[in-house]
Chains A and B, each alone.
Chain A
Amino acid sequence: MKKEQYDTVQEQMTPETPYFLNSFKAFLVGGLICVIGQAIAYFYMIFFDFTEKTVGNPTVATMILLAALATGLGIYPKIAQFAGAGSAVPVTGFSNAVVSAAIEHRTEGYVLGVGSNMFKIAGPVIVYGTVAAFFVAIIKTILVMMGVVSW
């Protein structure tokens, strides 16, 4: 079989990816996660002394805790199966990546298993997140110095 032939056969055999349906599901579930986050933010603002400026940290912490619990209880993987990127992009997806890796490598011991594998998936996010933040900060500093934008 030639390469071209193989390609056409493979194309015929592969089922079509339902892009629109997947996007819709991701939009729906991702939006729902954000609605929960917003509700938690309002809860902290109404019942505690947080303002819009300071409410971010406790809200993110709570969402991470909830997602970690849901991962441990086996609920989050089911949501992820349905929603795809909708559950991976918010901060809850990051929490899921850390916790599921920790659970997976639990049998290898706490130091060489959990400790060294916990950030296997989340590690690159932290590294490139920090690098990107560094460059964005430099660009913004230059723009402020030039007087294009203000802090």
Chain B
Amino acid sequence: MKKQLFIICSCFFLLAGCTAKEKISTYNAQEEKTKVIQQEIEQMKSVQKAKILVLNHDLIVALDMKPFYAFKERKIASDLQKKLEEKWPNEEIIVSSDFKIAWEIGKVMEEKDEEKVQEKIAYLKKIVKEKT
């Protein structure tokens, strides 16, 4: 009896983590570019969650794909990057499906100090290029 109760309880607590959270989170929701990107991502079926960070001329998008699309995630991200680059050729755009990028953007989402966000953007640009 105790064992069964333990199994049921552990299933409940494990599955409780699967509740849907906010699908697309943004740094500055009022920004015009952010809204355009948000619409673009909402049309994509393959994206589970996304984080958008737009500041001045820097534009970073982190995508979290649905498990079914995991093998195509890099191609999907580069397709979106090309699309955005066509739209804004003068901006520096990074679209990535990397967990690290999403994690780092998530940390600065609530940051009010723009200088710190700028520092983080510079850091992200550096680690995205790293290959070894």
Partner-B contacts on A (CB < 8 A): 42, 45-46, 49-55, 57
Contact = CB atoms under 8 A, between A and B. Distances in A.
Contacts of B132: 54, 57
For chain A, what secondary structure do more than half of its interface residues adopt (helix, strand, loop), or is it mixed? loop
Nearest to A54: B130
A56 to B, nearest CB: 10
Interface residues of B, number: 10
B39 to A, nearest CB: 27
B42 interface: no
Nearest to A52: B98
A46 to B, nearest CB: 6
Contacts of B100: 45, 50-52, 55
Contacts of B130: 49, 51, 53-54
A49 B103 CA distance: 11
B127 A49 contact: yes
Nearest to A150: B75
B45 interface: no
Interface string B82-117: 000000000000000011110100000000000000
Nearest to A42: B99
A42 B98 CA distance: 12
Contacts of A55: 100
A45 B130 CA distance: 13
Contacts of A53: 98, 130-131
Contacts of A52: 98-100
Interface centre among B99, B100, B130, B132 (most CB of A within 10 A): B100
A57 to B, nearest CB: 8
